[in-house]
């Protein structure tokens, strides 16, 4: 690693959605472009759910923008428990009607759910979109997280169908006024997505790397693409602290493979 500044133009703040993640907004022109969808990809352990949940939590607590989390791989109670380690009390935000967690996991694996928001039908993108639309209207959400697209894609099987259905989902989120993140688990860090299509149907891709070097794992992030915005073209290190992600925008990682 070495220190090095990078000149990134700051765009119109009125069209920006700040993540509030230390160091990240500096890398992408001041924040995410409003009403766009972004893919957060990485291998197991990279911190995709932490990063994207931090975006939702900060939106509510720092910027007054309510949020929706669609949980397709973890039950909501697991998410609540895991995020408390960072001091993020998601349940309190739910009770204040500022956050809604849609349980799209329990019924898919055949167990009952006591959640307020449950996608009870057999997996279908249309039903998921209907649930998101209804929930957004109820709590006036401005941000959303789909965690993850990988489980959705396994249901769809074929790459062509995955691309079409995820495009429908991302476009719907944008049309109804949600600035969204979608997580994607990868097995090859040389590829930005699992099925080779997810990054084409979103407006940006943030790749989280969790590499082994000299018998020690290191973490770094790359803004792989971001339509309509200037952004860093370098790979930057990050830490997962007791308060969540902290990215070091003035440090660069030479290689990550």
Count CB neighbours of 134 within 10 A.
Answer: 12
Minimal CA–CA distance to 232: which of 3, 26, 21, 2? 26
Query: What DSSP element (H or E) covers 79?
Result: helix 76-83
Contact residues for 1 (Cβ-Cβ < 8 A; gap 6+)? 237, 251, 252, 253, 254
Is 142 inside a domain boundary?
yes
Task: Check whether 181 has a pLDDT greater than 80.
Answer: yes
In the chain, the number of structural domains is: 1
Is 1 inside a domain boundary?
no
Q: Report the alpha-carbon distance of residue 142 to residue 63 in Å, rounded.
A: 10
Domain of residue 57 covers 19-247
CATH number of domain containing 31: 3.40.50.300
188: Cα separation from own chain's centroid: 19
Is 5 inside a domain boundary?
no
Contact residues for 193 (Cβ-Cβ < 8 A; gap 6+)? 39, 41, 184, 186, 199, 205
Is 83 inside a domain boundary?
yes
Minimal CA–CA distance to 99: which of 144, 51, 48? 144
Per-residue pLDDT reduced to its tens digit, 195-252: 667 888 899 999 999 987 777 889 999 999 999 999 999 999 999 999 999 999 999 8
Is 198 inside a domain boundary?
yes
Is 14 inside a domain boundary?
no
> Is residue 205 within 8 Å of 189, Cβ to Cβ?
no
Q: Averaged over 59-75, what is the pLDDT?
A: 96
When the pLDDT of each residue in the chain is averaged and rounded to a whole number, the result is 90
Is 12 inside a domain boundary?
no
Per-residue pLDDT reduced to its tens digit, 11-44: 667 799 999 999 999 999 999 999 999 999 999 8
């Amino acid at each position: 690693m070495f220190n090095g500044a990078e000149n990134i133009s700051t765009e119109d703040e009125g069209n920006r959605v700040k993540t509030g993640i230390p160091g990240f907004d500096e890398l992408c022109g001041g924040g995410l472009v409003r009403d766009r969808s972004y893919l957060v990809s990485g291998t197991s352990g990279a911190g995709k759910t932490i990063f994207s949940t931090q975006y939702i939590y900060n939106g509510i607590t720092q910027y007054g923008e309510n949020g929706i989390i669609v949980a397709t791989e973890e039950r909501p109670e697991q998410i609540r428990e895991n995020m408390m380690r960072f001091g993020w009390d998601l349940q309190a935000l739910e009770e204040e009607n500022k956050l809604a967690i849609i349980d799209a996991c329990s019924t898919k694996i055949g167990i009952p759910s006591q959640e307020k928001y449950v996608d009870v039908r057999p997996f279908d993108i249309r039903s998921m979109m209907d649930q998101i639309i209804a929930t957004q209207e109820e709590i006036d959400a401005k941000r959303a997280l789909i965690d993850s697209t990988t489980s959705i894609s396994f249901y769809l099987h074929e790459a062509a169908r995955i691309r079409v259905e995820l495009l429908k989902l991302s476009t719907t989120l944008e049309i109804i006024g949600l600035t969204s993140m979608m997580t994607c688990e990868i097995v090859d860090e040389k590829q930005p997505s699992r099925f080779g299509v997810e990054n084409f149907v979103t407006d940006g891709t943030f790749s989280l790397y969790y590499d082994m070097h000299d018998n020690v794992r290191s973490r770094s992030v790359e803004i792989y693409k971001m339509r309509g915005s200037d952004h860093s073209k370098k790979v930057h290190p990050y830490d997962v602290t007791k308060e969540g992600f902290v990215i070091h925008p003035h440090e660069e990682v030479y290689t990550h493979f």
